[in-house]
Amino acid sequence: MKRIPSGVRIAAALAVVAASAALLTACDTFSTTTVAEQDFVNELAIPPLADSTVEDGVRTFQLTAQEGTTDFPGIGDAETWGFNGSFLGPTLRAERGEQVAFEIDNQLPEATSVHWHGMHLPAVMDGGPHQMIEQGETWRPTWTIDQPASTLWYHPHPHGETEKHVYLGLAGMFILDDDASLAADLPSEYGVDDLPLIVQDKEFDGAGQLVLNDDGSEPGTLGDTVMVNGTVGAYQDVTTERVRLRLLNGSTARTYTFEMPDRPMTMIASDGGFLDAPVEMDQMRLAPGERAEVVVEFEPGETVRLRSSKTDLGGIVVPATSGGNDEFDVLEFRAADTLTPSPEPTWPQAQDAVADELHEDEASVTRDFVLNTREINGEQMDMNRIDEIVHVGDTEVWEVRSTQPIPHSFHIHDVQFRVLSIDGQAPPPELAGPKDTIYLNPNLTYRLLVRFEDYADPTMPYMYHCHMLLHEDEGMMGQFVVIEPGDEDKVRAPEHSEHVDDSDDAVIGGHSGH
Ligand code: C2O
Ligand code: CU
Ligand code: CU
């Protein structure tokens, strides 16, 4: 991997920013979008639900990470990567309480990993950079689903290569159900009125191949082609009055602001499950890695588009260079002349939610995380350094702040957190539900309430990092272990398969909060 000292890269980025600022003032008619106009002529692909076999109460899925060729209509055949296919992966689905197991074959030309974004699970099953699957090998993680119904996702996490692996197509949805979600009156027919929508932007070269252009733009490659589930210019036929959209920003760098014309989107769930109460939204900002479930209503016979409008990136030097001024259509809905009535939506009642609730007065530890120049708290990711040591059972407050006018987002593995406040203010309702990833407006302090319930393991860390994948690859990541109190002396960074000299003693940089 190309290593550019972060200082140099940032300086270059700021120069680009300054140059485009000059351009913007010089030229009023400068197009504010870098995104191409689309014709919406291709039926939306719906990722298939993954097959699974159940034996002795264990639900087993098979995934193969593989190379392939994908025909993007109007663009041509591109070399891509996918799970069980050439691009993206099947939708995984399981219920709370079920034990799941996976056989993951790596048929790629290089090592990869598969991380379960948003999942509460043991660190050795997490699929981060310490669980590499070498070329030709098979990884078999297993755990019990122990969290509320939600829309999660899975993607590779090889250190320094995550952007490329995700960008080439390795990503899929992981839907969790529970008793409350199954009992709720919500649109729930997969692919019909319950739609997985993996939104990604891509850049193609003249030969129709995917390119990651390393041009110093921040926070990474912003593609001029937007696709949903791998379909460019996608339309979806609507046959019911209400449709539930499971929106996943599966982009590597682009933040979207979704909206529908003339109607609110009723947001029912954030990253980690249902909101306490649904909230009507005119617009919804989603940064890479974030999800939202919304319900929208349609009139018979209408054609409407899901759009992404200008995005308030919050105090970014020149929003245009980070995609903030881009406006484009994402997906066209074509409602049939007669729509099947949808039941009046009901939302899951709170019993499950109460058990999963977090209480600020239980927080015993506060930790600070400052994001700047590809570093968190002044350090770049080191596979051999444990940055934070957490005691199992503890509730903590993580205070996170980006001190740089560049888009960053913050993701924590293993947990769903609650946003206590943003610069002292209560979070808006869409950020008040369970979250695992959050966009950081520069220079605001995000106080996150997190509980580390179980799975103590002093020798296998979880990650926290910026989910702008270029930033993550360039070192904006740290490692935390969850341990039994008193096990401090057992904390070690794991020996990972390659590139580690045995004489290199693991460094423990951990502080236990304050
Ligand atoms: Cu979506 Cu650490 O990842
Ligand atoms: Cu994750
Ligand atoms: Cu970042």
How much is the average pLDDT of 478-490?
98
Q: What is the pLDDT of residue 26?
A: 35
pLDDT tens digits, 21-80? 433 433 333 445 778 888 999 999 999 999 999 999 999 999 999 999 999 988 999 999
- Indicate left, alpha or beta for 52 from its phi (over 0: left) and psi (-120 to 50: alpha): beta
* Cβ-based burial of 501 (10 A; exposed 0-12, middle 13-18, buried ≥19): exposed
Q: For domain 6-36+191-340, give the CATH superfamily.
A: Cupredoxins -  blue copper proteins (2.60.40.420)
Collect all residues with Cβ–Cβ distance below 8 Å to 211 and sequence separation of at least 6. 203, 204, 205, 221
Please determine, for residue 125, whether its predicted confidence score (pLDDT) is greater than 50. Answer: yes
The Cα 33–Cα 123 span in angstroms is 41
Structure confidence at residue 346 as a pLDDT band (50, 70, 90): confident
Who has greater pLDDT, 170 or 352? 170
Who has greater pLDDT, 10 or 467? 467
Distance 67 CA to ligand 2 centre (A): 23
For the Cβ of 117 lying below 6 angstroms from any atom of ligand 1, the answer is: yes
Contact (CB, 8 A) for 137 and 107 = no
Collect all residues with Cβ–Cβ distance below 8 Å to 207 and sequence separation of at least 6. 76
82: amino acid identity, one letter: G
* Segment (H or E) for 351: helix 351-356
Q: What is the pLDDT of residue 353?
A: 58
pLDDT tens digits, 485-505? 999 999 999 975 444 344 444
Contact (CB, 8 A) for 411 and 465 = yes
DSSP 312: -
The Cα 370–Cα 306 span in angstroms is 35
Q: Do domains 6-36+191-340 and 358-508 have the same CATH topology?
A: yes
Length of the chain: 514
Please determine, for residue 343, whether its predicted confidence score (pLDDT) is greater than 90. Answer: no
Q: What is the pLDDT of residue 32?
A: 55
* φ, ψ of residue 98 in degrees (nearest 5): -75, 145
Distance 314 CA to ligand 2 centre (A): 24
For the Cβ of 435 lying below 6 angstroms from any atom of ligand 1, the answer is: no
Q: Whose CA is nearest to atom 3 of ligand 1?
A: 117
The Cα 289–Cα 336 span in angstroms is 32
Distance 232 CA to ligand 3 centre (A): 27
For the chain, the distance separating the N- and C-terminal CA atoms, rounded to the nearest angstrom, is 37
Domains of the chain: which residue ranges? 6-36+191-340, 47-183, 358-508
Q: Tokens 């070269």 appear where? A: 205
How much is the average pLDDT of 114-129?
98
Nearest ligand for residue 249 CA: 1
pTM of the model: 0.91
* Mean of the per-residue pLDDT values of the chain: 90
The domain defined by 358-508 carries CATH number 2.60.40.420: yes
Structure confidence at residue 349 as a pLDDT band (50, 70, 90): low
Structure confidence at residue 484 as a pLDDT band (50, 70, 90): very high
Which is nearest to 356 in space by CA: 279, 427, 416, 430? 416
The mean-pLDDT minimum among 108-112, 204-208, 443-447 falls in 204-208
DSSP 314: S
Nearest ligand for residue 119 CA: 2
DSSP 473: H
For the Cβ of 291 lying below 6 angstroms from any atom of ligand 1, the answer is: no
Q: Under CATH, which number does the domain 47-183 receive?
A: 2.60.40.420
Please determine, for residue 402, whether its predicted confidence score (pLDDT) is greater than 60. Answer: yes
Please determine, for residue 2, whether its predicted confidence score (pLDDT) is greater than 70. Answer: no
Q: What is the pLDDT of residue 354?
A: 57
For the Cβ of 413 lying below 6 angstroms from any atom of ligand 1, the answer is: yes
Ligand 1: atom nearest CA of 437 is: 1
* Segment (H or E) for 249: strand 242-249
Nearest ligand for residue 171 CA: 1
Q: What is the pLDDT of residue 350?
A: 55
Distance 117 CA to ligand 2 centre (A): 4
Please determine, for residue 462, whether its predicted confidence score (pLDDT) is greater than 70. Answer: yes
The Cα 69–Cα 80 span in angstroms is 6
The mean-pLDDT minimum among 259-268, 352-361, 436-445, 462-471 falls in 352-361
For the Cβ of 119 lying below 6 angstroms from any atom of ligand 1, the answer is: no
Which is nearest to 174 in space by CA: 224, 131, 121? 121
pLDDT tens digits, 140-154? 999 999 999 999 999
For the Cβ of 465 lying below 6 angstroms from any atom of ligand 1, the answer is: yes
Collect all residues with Cβ–Cβ distance below 8 Å to 7 and sequence separation of at least 6. 373
Give percent above pLDDT 90 in the chain: 81
pLDDT tens digits, 183-232? 999 999 999 999 999 999 999 999 999 999 877 888 999 999 999 999 99
Structure confidence at residue 512 as a pLDDT band (50, 70, 90): very low
Q: In what order do the strands lie in the sheet with 225-228?
A: 231-232, 225-228, 194-202, 242-249, 291-297, 265-270, 273-281
